[in-house]
Amino acid sequence: MSKPLSIGVAGLGTVGAGVLKLLAENGDIVAARAGRPVTVGAVSARTKGRDRGVALDGLRWHDDPVALAADPGVDVVVELIGGSDGPARALVEAALAAGKPVVTANKALLAVHGAAIAEMAEARGVPLAFEAAVAGGIPAIKGLREGLAANRLKRVAGILNGTCNYILTTMREQGREFGDVLEEAQALGYAEADPSFDIDGVDAAHKLAILAALAFGRPVDFGAVHVEGIREVTAMDIAFAGELGYRIKLLGIAGRDEAGISARVHPCMVPVAAPIARVDGVFNAVVAEGDFVGRVMLEGRGAGAGPTASAVVADLIDIARGRHTPVWGGALDAAPAVAMERHRGAYYLRLMVLDRPGVIADVTGILRDQAISLESMLQRGRAPGEAVPVVLTTHDCEEAAMRAALDRIAGLDAVLEKPALIRIEAL
């Protein structure tokens, strides 16, 4: 068998320890599939003495992660530190400058600096692999870049954050409110102490920016992704969604048409019959649509030590075998980004209004003025002079028109709180 591939792992948290464990337990399988052993030669982490549940005996230790790039015994650098800047970025750039392949699970780094890092890797002819950066153990990167390489992709979408999917699933199944379920998710370890990146949609947007770059052959453009989170989704909206035949999911959706490329992350109502509507709990899913293959969906665990380590080691096997795919799949496309205001689709609106004559006429008059037509309306019971929910669904219209209508509707004195808006997607 050929000379072992020696790796240096920077970051020994959940995923880093998972990589060491996987290589220790499945080393024979990995060696057979890689054509040579894949061994850990050096590591780096913030704290040396901590018990991580894996043996570090005999491994070279570097207090400075950037030193891994200069270690002559390291063939491939595995960056599992995280963060869009700081030590993670410095390590990746140093490794590429030294001509060493990089494997990373760092979606924030790739979303923010991916274009420059990819340019650096390709200028030096060095592999940059990042299967673990999107959807954990789901082979979404390989699926888009290799399995669907013969297709022109029209759309890529998915449930890209397990924390949000767990919260929305639990809210639906138990009829509980967002804040209550978030606290439970934190206690169970499904949400961070500061959950903002997850629940505000930023984590999913990082991943979508990477998927859009792969799907449409464009530089990563995180700034072009429209981002909304799930803080404002209520148990009432989830219940109404069920009555209307939908489930609410936080989706990342990127598409291409004659106007350019759009990318957006926000809560969506999807039909209960859609396969993605049945992806619950902490699971992720990625859907791609190609001109010849049609629609393909991959589902699995999107985070955690085992699934993410699986994706990291799959990249290491490719490097050991000498398989090297261009970072974004070939020549880059200069198609423009399409602003969210130009999105067309159907909408769910929930208004809390005073139950008095003329209110519905005022609301529908505003929608008429913006050329927005209604598909359905729900109103439960009567409570004269008190607040009641009114639910409207629309036919397809432009986002800009809907926003203009909502601003006017929110200004009506009979509308007692900010209108709830959720986009309807037929995935």
Q: What is the pLDDT of residue 243?
A: 96
pTM comes to 0.94
Query: Tens-digit pLDDT profile for the chain (427 aa)?
Result: 589 999 999 999 999 999 999 999 999 999 999 999 999 999 999 888 788 888 898 899 999 999 999 999 999 999 999 999 999 999 999 999 999 999 999 999 999 999 999 999 999 999 999 999 999 899 999 999 999 999 999 999 999 999 999 999 999 999 999 999 999 999 988 888 899 999 999 999 999 999 999 999 888 899 999 999 999 999 999 999 999 999 999 999 999 999 999 999 999 999 999 999 999 999 999 999 999 999 999 999 988 899 999 999 999 999 999 998 877 665 567 789 999 999 999 999 999 999 888 999 999 999 999 999 999 999 876 777 788 999 999 999 999 999 999 999 999 999 999 999 999 998 8
How far does Cα 365 stand from its chain's mean position?
38
Domains of the chain: 5-133 (3.40.50.720), 140-301 (3.30.360.10), 343-424 (3.30.70.260)
Q: What is the pLDDT of residue 191?
A: 87
Distance (Å) of CA 405 to CA 26, 227, 370, 398: 58, 21, 6, 11
Q: What is the pLDDT of residue 49?
A: 76
Q: What is the pLDDT of residue 325?
A: 82
Q: Which residues pair with 264 in a beta bridge?
A: 226, 253
Show which residues are catalytic: 207
Question: Which two structure tokens, joined as six digits, stand for 200?
Answer: 């505000």
Q: What is the pLDDT of residue 286?
A: 97
Q: What is the pLDDT of residue 303?
A: 85
Q: What is the pLDDT of residue 332?
A: 62
Helix (H) or strand (E) run with residue 129 in it: strand 128-129
Q: What is the pLDDT of residue 329?
A: 61
DSSP 8-state class, residue 132: G
Question: Which two structure tokens, joined as six digits, stand for 12?
Answer: 């020994």
